[in-house]
Structure 1
Amino acid sequence: MAAPNAEQKKRTGLGALASAGADEDFSVIDAIGGPRGVVESMLPGVLFVVMFVATNNLNLTVAVSAALAVIQVIVRLIQRQSVMGALSGLIAVGICLIWAWKSHEARNYYMFGFLTNTGYAVLLAISLVARVPGLGLVIEFIRQLPTERFGAWFHDWMDDKALKRAYMVITALWMGLFLARLAVQVPLYLTDHVAALGVARLIMGIPFWALAIWVSYLIIATPLHRHKAAAKAKADN
């Protein structure tokens, strides 16, 4: 079996934060999927906006956007590269396109994004109220899967005050990101400004995601590194 290539070994998104430490290199570009991942994530949305504004033909726009999303997955398969990101993107784009096509309204291409952003914001808000930071749960789950002794896993990082505080801060940061998207984009949806909505969606998509990951790294890198070092020292004794 062939060894996984460098692209497959690199963690993206919150997975990149889970492996971060103050003494380790951290690349925002790698964390958001590399140049290719950025292009593949943004291209369907760009094409949808450009096609609809240029042709005002929703059926043609949906057909071309769907074809592009499928082609991206096929290319990955032909090149024998990881297709998980492309497949998840295909599913998300597929839901958006079907929603727009079935409703006969181009602006409904963005409805799924509104729902997911609302859902994430609500879940993170609940976690902050409960004082169990949602981003901490996700990152620690990725970092060390609690297959057994869940209580020990939970208290291991929750009892680290500096680390928990950092996780609370980035949880609030990400909740703010989701709410900001809604605050800007929902009024554009309600007033049927499809082109402006598409541009706002693109600007507040990958660029905002990259910024959130980078700021999150700056906040958690030192306490997470210290937590890892303390755990290693305890294991060695």
Structure 2
Amino acid sequence: MSAEEHSTTRTGMAALAHADAGDDFSVIAAIGGPRGIVESMLPGIVFVVLFVIAKDVRLTVIVSAVLALIQVAVRLLQRQSVMGALSGVAAVGICLIWAWRSNEARDYYIFGFLTNAAYIAALLVSLAVRVPGLGLMVEFIRTLPTEHFRAWLDGWRSDRGLRRAYTIITVLWIGLFALRLLVQVPLYATNHVTLLGTARLLMGIPFWALAIWISYLIVATPMHRHKAAEREHADNNRARADTPQEALRED
């Protein structure tokens, strides 16, 4: 992949927002490519392995923090985008601070519990008000409304097929976040740090990749039809706008 291609590669919900039924959808690219996967998983792997070996929470926190900072420094030296790395460092930093202050390795995972619970709450509210949260996110990324918000909102919500697909994937992601909590919180409560860390890793990037892929399969065709309808509507509007001018020229 060239530098130019790499710079335009979309990840996460952005990859889903700009996917099309006629395109080849790459799950690996959507989750950040091999480098993104390594950068996302490495701090967690190091934390678990080092704690199991050393049984020293503070040493584990220090090494994990240094590793996270090195990842950002490498991106800066290579003049690559550091936004993803910085957001990852911020999240890891919060986890490490909690583990450091309590001197409990298991507290490294509390922030993950809180974020998953927050996602569940937000997505449930979105379903309750009939604005599927995943649809809101994907459509916002896809079209970036700067005005006429109500018309933009009604534009995709009035498409029954697309709205149904967004509702389904919103429920799917709620299930993902809930499953993480159901598995990991009991391990936290019983202080099984090694099992908790392993579960966190397995239910992190792998589950995210699976959810992105299933979401694409559900949304791609309705989104393709919706985009085609949008283009047809825009073409009709342009044709109507041009008609008076053509009539005047004929007169």
**Which position in structure 2 is the counterpart of 1:148?**
147
Residue number in structure 2 paired with 1:77: 76
Are 2:21 and 1:18 equivalent residues in the alignment? no
Q: Which amino acid aligns with 2:144?
A: L
Structure 1 counterpart of 2:56, one-letter code: N
For 2:108, the aligned partner's letter is: Y
Aligned positions of 1:161-172 closer than 5 A: 161-172=160-171
1-side partners of 2:218 and 2:180: how far apart? Answer: 22
Q: Which amino acid aligns with 2:26?
A: S
Question: Amino acid of the residue matched to residue 168 of structure 1?
Answer: T
The residue type paired with residue 180 of structure 1 is L
Structure having the higher Rg: 2
Q: Which position in structure 2 is the counterpart of 1:124?
A: 123
Q: Distance in 2 between matches of 1:4 and 1:87?
A: 21
CA deviation profile, 1:6-45 (whole Å, cap 9, x unmatched)? 2221110001010011011210000000000000000000
Where structure 2 has 5 or more consecutive residues not aligned to the other structure, the ranges are 237-251
Q: What are the superposed Cα offsets for residues 121-173 of structure 1, whole Å, 9 maximum, x if unpaired?
A: 11111111222100000000000111000011001100000000000000000
Amino acid at match of 2:59: L
Deviations 1:190-229 (A, max 9, x none): 0000000000000000000000000000000000000001
> 1:212 maps to which residue?
211
Q: Distance in 1 between matches of 2:146 and 2:102?
A: 44
Aligned to 1:68: 67
Instruction: State how far apart, in whole Å, the 2-side matches of 1:145 and 1:162 are.
Output: 21
2: CA distance, partners of 1:156 / 1:23: 22
RMSD of equivalent CA atoms: 1.0
Q: Tell me the TM-score normalized by structure 2.
A: 0.92
1:229 match: secondary structure: helix
Q: What does residue range 168-207 of structure 1 map to in structure 2 within 5 Å? A: 168-207=167-206
**Counterparts of 1:172 and 1:189, CA distance in 2:** 25
Structure 1 residue runs of 4 or more that deviate by more than 4 Å after TM superposition: none
Structure 1: segments with no counterpart, 5+ residues: none
- 1:101 match: 100
Q: Distance in 1 between matches of 2:80 and 2:227?
A: 32
Match of 1:30 in 2: 29
| Number of matched pairs | 235
Query: C-alpha distance in 2, partners of 1:50/1:25?
Result: 37
Q: Distance in 2 between matches of 1:25 and 1:8?
A: 18
**After the TM superposition, which residues 222-233 of structure 1 pair with which residues of structure 2 at under 5 Å, given as runs?**
222-233=221-232
Cα offset, 1:4, TM superposition = 6.3
Secondary structure (helix, strand or coil) at the match of 1:187 reads helix
Cα distance between partner residues in 2 of 1:151 and 1:58: 51
Pairwise CA distance, 1:5? 2.7
Mapping of residues 47-58 of structure 1, within 5 Å: 47-58=46-57
Q: Distance in 1 between matches of 2:135 and 2:225?
A: 15
| Distance (whole Å) between structure 1 residues aligned to residue 55 and residue 206 of structure 2 | 27
Specify the code of the residue in structure 1 equivalent to 2:21. A
Find the aligned partners of 1:5 and 1:138 in 2 and give their Cα distance: 26
Amino acid at match of 1:76: R
